[in-house]
């Protein structure tokens, strides 16, 4: 399977969140992350100082509001789009992103993953709407056939033309996924021994029938 995306046995795709972030950032900014978390430990979500010794459990904080308040308190600009969230995508975690500009030129993104306290990253996206794409993967086989799969049933072929899963992989609603051919042969009595793959899902190349991998698009 791909290094940063994978086909799961149930017939769906997951994307490694850390790799997805690497494509959109210049790495973590430890100083700003420390400043955000230190500030949050001393203030409530609306910016009011907390009583000495008081603390919020990170799981129950409104980290989005706290981060927005921190950015405003520090005088950072928060451009549109404001908050970007991914809860039911191919990413293997729930993610939210709040972008800001520090000192008028340094672009950053505060990123929260699941219930963990957010981290601040240097932003490297040339188009901020790249943050909205949490689903696109490349489908490719060893012979070099390939497609870009965004979401739903929309594909882009090697020529850059739009097409669909139905046109390329057939009308089955499970397309592009199929059962492992060896498992199918065993189940149907054409093979005595199972292959031991735990009935993994396949994407079989419609051009050469090789097993395809999925991967994040190259940047």
Indicate the pTM of the whole model: 0.88
Q: What is the pLDDT of residues 174-198, one digit of tens each?
A: 999 987 776 666 666 676 776 666 5
Task: Give me 182's structure tokens.
Answer: 């060896």
Q: Nearest-CA neighbor of 102 among 35, 46, 45?
A: 35
100-119 average pLDDT score? 96
Find out whether 119 and 110 touch, Cβ atoms under 8 Å: yes
pLDDT tens, residue by residue, 131-181: 999 999 999 999 999 999 998 999 999 999 999 999 999 998 899 998 777
Assign 3-class secondary structure to the chain: CCCCEEEECCCEEEECHHHHHHCCEEEECHHHHHHHHHHHHHECCCCCECCCCCCCCHHHCCHHHHHHHHHHHCCCECCCCCEEEECCCCECCCEEEEEEEECCCEEEEEEEECCCCCEEEEECCCCHHHHHCCCCEEEECCCCCEEEECCCCEEECCCCCEEEHHHHHCCCCCCCEEECHHHHHHHCCCCCCCCCCCCCEEEECCCCCCECEEECCCC
């Amino acid at each position: 399977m791909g290094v940063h995306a994978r086909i799961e046995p149930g017939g769906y795709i997951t994307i490694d969140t850390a790799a997805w972030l690497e494509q959109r950032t210049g790495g973590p900014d430890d100083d700003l992350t420390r400043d955000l978390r230190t500030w949050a430990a001393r203030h409530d979500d609306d910016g009011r100082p907390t009583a000495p010794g008081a603390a919020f459990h990170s799981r129950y904080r409104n980290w989005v509001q706290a981060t927005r308040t921190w950015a405003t308190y520090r005088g950072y600009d928060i451009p549109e789009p404001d908050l970007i969230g991914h809860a039911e995508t191919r990413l293997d975690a729930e993610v939210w992103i709040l972008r800001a500009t520090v000192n008028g030129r340094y672009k950053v993104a505060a990123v929260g993953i699941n219930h963990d306290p957010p981290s601040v990253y240097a932003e490297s996206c040339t188009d901020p709407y790249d943050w909205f794409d949490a689903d696109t993967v490349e489908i490719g086989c060893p012979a070099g056939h390939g497609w870009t799969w965004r979401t739903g049933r929309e594909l882009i072929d090697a020529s850059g033309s739009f097409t669909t899963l139905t046109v390329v992989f057939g009308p089955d609603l499970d397309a592009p996924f199929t059962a492992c051919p060896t498992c199918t042969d065993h189940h149907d009595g054409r093979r005595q021994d199972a292959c031991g793959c735990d009935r993994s899902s396949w994407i079989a190349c419609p051009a050469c029938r090789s097993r395809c991998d999925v991967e994040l698009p190259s940047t």
